[in-house]
Amino acid sequence: MLFYSFYFKHIVILDVFSIATGFSIRVLAGAAIISVPISDWLILTTMFISLFLGVMKRHSELEQVSQSTTVSTRKVLTDYSVTFANQMATVAAAGVVICYALYTVSPRTVSVFGTENLIYTTPFVVFGIFRYMYLEYLNQKGENTTQIMLTDVPMIVTVLLYTLTTVLIIYEII
């Protein structure tokens, strides 16, 4: 994080990759602390969701800068464009969905949870990604992920349904 704070946050692409790396390291550290092996697909999903959220934040900041001349901004934003941020978000979103879907059907996941049915949670992930994109692209609300997750009713319902479905599948209730 020191490299990010003093250097990488000023370099296009490395800024969002540094953030994603930080989240991936936290996941690995957490798994190590509680002595739980972690799936490579889950690490990749974490990396892609972190990239996605970081790029969407850059997109939001670019939109704010383009709408106002008085908004103070990160210097690195001068190296981004809205079009480039859109393309990066699309790639990251696809990475999240693909890696998550592959995680749910990987032999290790099936063995740990004793079911192949976790694949049925993938539509909730896809909807969540699309909803977040909708909120940013059409309503310019991508600046604060926490606020979205706590105030957007469709997003809250999606998280609740995802959680409920996952629990029901794991405990073989459905």
pLDDT band, very low/low/confident/very high, at 6 (cuts 50, 70, 90): confident
pLDDT of residue 69: 64
Residue 78 has pLDDT above 80, yes or no: yes
* DSSP, residue by residue, 4-33: HHHTGGGSTTHHHHHHHHHHHHHHHHHHHH
d(CA 135, CA 154): 11
pLDDT band, very low/low/confident/very high, at 143 (cuts 50, 70, 90): confident
The structural domain count of the chain equals: 1
Domain that holds residue 118: 2-170
Amino acid identity, position 88: M
Question: What mean pLDDT is reported for the chain?
Answer: 92
The pTM score is: 0.91
Locate 151 and state its tokens. 């105030």
How far CA 142 is from CA of 51, 60, 72, 93, in Å, comes to 14, 6, 17, 14
* pLDDT digit string, tens, across residues 96-114: 999 999 999 999 999 999 9
Residue 4 has pLDDT above 80, yes or no: no
Residue 116 has pLDDT above 90, yes or no: yes
What value does the mean pLDDT take over residues 38-63?
94
Residue 93 has pLDDT above 90, yes or no: yes
